[in-house]
Structure 1
């Protein structure tokens, strides 16, 4: 099955099969079979304009998230998904910037470019692994989580939810893939050439960096940058991003609460 469809299918199955847990969260959740108006009162008709049910809120948030995640993973896993986007491009490790400056100054800029390209290629390979991790995170989302995401003043509330619930697992999943991809893309070879050349220059201390950990962390950070972009589009209804009746209803209701 196409990896990019797993999130949508997984979210739908989990939504239909799971029993959502509830707790208090600073607002009153509408009952399962009723809607709630923008003033907080309930209606007996779940389809009433301006009202949503718990089930609708949960389904709408999960659909929005799965749409955004699918698109983020799709874009980043393409060739130049990281390398060609300044917002997520993986640059030299901070502590190695002086290596880059020194080597470019002595005519070794091409080697620096090859190293940077190889790190980004490794990230583009690894990001595909995120789909199954996010499906698991969606399965743990409660109705209360969904309403917090809808009504939060933060435009990246859903992204922050995923950061909290997936970063540790993503790091575990990404690390071996990054390490393997770095081997295929000659990252270590370029890095050894860079550091060897730099260490021959009379510029001070040697540079030591855990490249696997660095590229893994930057790949995950880049993924969340894109997820936040997609979330903002849905919240602001940019480019027809609310492309279903449930998204229009749920996020339209959230707009009324502002």
Structure 2
């Protein structure tokens, strides 16, 4: 009986001793497996990175080789010599300057003749007469006069727009008077509006003479004459005020002519400066050098 009890106690003691040891062995095995898996994962990542770097290096080498081959081929290809510009003869200069002015005239007159061609263009808008500004300022204080003043200014621009088409034939006829010597000088000038100024010198007086009757008729037609008469009549009755005596037709005519030359100068400048504006072979040959 004693022997059995002793044997049971011995077995229990051995079991108690072996349990922690087995547990420790299991934990160590798990850690070793985890470490091995992590090492394998790291090795796989390094291998993938190395493969990617090798591929990138190969692609770069391929691109460099292609670029080198293209450069070599380009160097081996003979470059065609740039054609020499056509000599600027007197006849070419004359044709070029006349073509430039012709195109500028057509565009300028067309633009000025459109509704609001003068009225909505800050460059050529005809303002209230300068010598009547005091009248404008004074009358603007009277009830209802601001509307009349604003309408009157618009009517002046409408008169210029109505008369603008008259300028086209006068301008175009003046082109025939450009001599060969003048043409060479105008083409080679460093001024962007040399041809416009030449044309102005030779046509302004004629334009004013031709414009004046049309402007006068247009002023009456659009109602500017009546509006101006109403304003001056009221203003001139104010005590101590110097009566306004502006020649409305002369004022509007000069402003209309000025506006046309401004538009023409803009078109000439485009042709001289902007290759895209040289829409004919003549313009490209004369102004593209």
Q: Same fold (TM over 0.5)?
A: yes
CA distance in 1, matches of 2:153, 2:171: 28
1:51 corresponds to which of 67, 87, 91: 87
**Equivalence for 2:179:** 142
Q: Please give the residue correspondences for 1:94-243 in structure 2 after superposition, counting only pairs within 5 Å.
A: 94-107=130-143, 108-202=145-239, 204-237=241-274, 240-243=276-279
Shift in Å, 1:201: 3.0
Shift in Å, 1:181: 0.8
CA distance in 1, matches of 2:118, 2:282: 32
Shift in Å, 1:67: 0.5
TM superposition score normalised by structure 1: 0.77
**Equivalence for 2:285:** 249
Cα RMSD (Å) of the superposition?
1.4
CA distance in 1, matches of 2:178, 2:241: 51
CA distance in 1, matches of 2:258, 2:237: 33
Greater helix share, 1 or 2? 2
Query: Structure 1: any 5+ residue segments left out of the alignment?
Result: 1-46, 254-258
Moved over 4 A (4+): none
> For each residue in 1:65-101, what CA deviation from the matched residue of structure 2 results, as whole angstroms up to 9, or x when unmatched?
1001100000000010000111111111111011111
Of structures 1 and 2, the larger Rg is shown by: 2
> For each residue in 1:32-64, what CA deviation from the matched residue of structure 2 results, as whole angstroms up to 9, or x when unmatched?
xxxxxxxxxxxxxxx942522222111111111
CA 90–203 in structure 1, closer or farther in 2 if over 3 Å, else same: farther
